Every structure is written in C-alpha cells, then in structure tokens.
Amino acid sequence: MLSLRALAERVAASRGYTLKIEAEPLRRAPAFFDAARGWGLKVGTVIDVGVGNGTPWLMDSFPDAYTVLVEPNPGFRPVLDRILTAPRRGEGHIMAAGAAAGEMTMHVNIATPTSSSLMAPTQGQVDEFAKRGWTRESREEVVPVARLDSLDRSKWPGPYLLKMDCEGFELEVMRGATGLLGEVALIVSEVGVAHRHEGSYTFAEFIAAMDAHGFELIDVTDLLQFGKGGHLATMDAAFAPKGGPLVRR
C-alpha cells in the first residue's frame, strides 16, 4: 500500500511536478532566512532596493527590522506608503540607487511596470517576450539617482540586509553602497544569467565584482526562466561577507 507521501509524489510527477522538503535546496527566501538565523544571521535594518509591487517574502521575514525602501518608479509610491504603516518603522525614497548622484532615464514598461529598467532591453530580451506575446512597449521617464551610502543612516540600526532587484542595474547599486557595506550581514540579489539589458554585467562579472566587494555566494533562493521550458534568465542569490558567520568552509 502506498504511503501518503508516495501517493502525493506519484500524482505530482504525473503532472510534471516534484515534491521536496522545504528546508532543502532550492530553498526559497523564507526557508533560507530561517536557516540563516540558525547560522548566526542578525538584521537590524532591511534595505529593499527595487520595491515594485512589494516583497512580502522579505517584509514578513523581518517584521521588526527598520525598513528602507528605494524605488525609482514614482508610480509605486502607494506601495511604499502601504508597507511603511505602523507598526513597521522605516523610510521610503523615490529614487534610483546608483554609483553617482544625478539623473537617469528609466525605460518604464507600460504593461509590466516591475520590468522597468534603467537599461534598455537587448534584442534577445525583446524577442523572448515577443515569442510569448508579452509586450515591451515602454515610455521614458527621468528619475533622480543617489548613492545608497549618501543617505542619512542615523536611524538605521545594524546589521543590514540589502536586497536588490534592479533589472540589470545591481552592480551600479553596489558601487554606490561601498560606504555602508561594512554593516551589511547579507545581500539577496536578483542576478542576471541571460543577457537581458544593454550594457549590463555578465554572470561571471557579477560574481567577480561581489568577490571584490568582500562577499561570496552562500545560497541560491530562486530561479526564473524564459517561460516554460525556456532558458534560465535570472536567479536570486544570497551573498555574505567573507569570513563571517554565514560562510562555511
């Protein structure tokens, strides 16, 4: 007689799915955070760069942390206001985080604002979207840019957790955060694998840059491909300071 688990596995397999233990890789963010706390993770401030429609997996995991929200698209201002309601403490900044202060043109995706970027899509990205009938129609909007480490951090208790989801602009965020990286205990970042944005990094360049900044890869919490059966597009990856409690040798 089949056990309940064996039956569930058989049913899932017949539909193209598989069962796994939540705490085993691929661990998504809530389970990863639970594991990381056991390794010694402590977070006083969560810095969410690229808020979009919100990141409940991050907010729900650290409800008591001071929260810094950074989002360049002013259309998401109501989302920031909603997140920053009592009892959550924090602040919101409608700006792009970059390597230098100034202004940049953002390519705002009209149908899917969360796919907007400070970098133009590659032709390959446009083609992948077209295969699936997804629109890349966009408008341009000039947005302010500031370095993360230029923000007033007097209210930010350490250590920090830095989350980045910036559609190919993540390394520019890092270049503008060097003054606060010493307080960062964990980075969770979307990392491009496919070449999706003109002028953006390659996967190898991203890993090398994170190494140069003093961080190394400790886990992968999510993977995203171009549609069912498509190539790997991005991953969500966790990085911790070299020699810190979250790194195992």
Q: Label residue 161 by pLDDT band (50, 70, 90).
A: very high
Q: Is residue 224 part of a domain?
A: yes
Task: Report yes or no on 184 lying in a domain.
Answer: yes
In a domain, 13, yes or no: no
How many independent structural domains does the chain possess? 1
Q: What is the pLDDT of residues 185-194, one digit of tens each?
A: 999 999 999 8
What lies within 8 Å, CB to CB, of 87 at 6+ separation is: none
pLDDT at 135: 63
Is the pLDDT assigned to residue 95 strictly greater than 70?
yes
Is 3 inside a domain boundary?
Answer: no
Q: Can you list the positions of beta strands (E) in 110-179?
A: 138-146, 160-164
Residue 204 pLDDT more than 90? yes
pLDDT digits (tens, 9 = 90+) for 42-86: 999 999 999 999 999 999 999 999 999 999 999 999 999 999 999
Q: Output the domain CATH number for residue 171.
A: 3.40.50.150
pLDDT at 158 over 90: yes
For the record, the structure tokens of 199 come out as 């002028």
Q: How confident is the model at residue 136 (pLDDT cuts 50, 70, 90)?
A: low
CA distance 94 to 129: 28
Residue 8 lies in a domain: no
Share of the chain above pLDDT 70, in %: 97
* pLDDT score, position 166: 95
Q: Is 100 within the bounds of a domain? A: yes
Q: Domain range spanning residue 236?
A: 24-104+140-240
Q: Is residue 248 part of a domain?
A: no
**Assigned domain for 116 exists:** no
CA separation for the pair 202, 195 (Å, rounded):
7
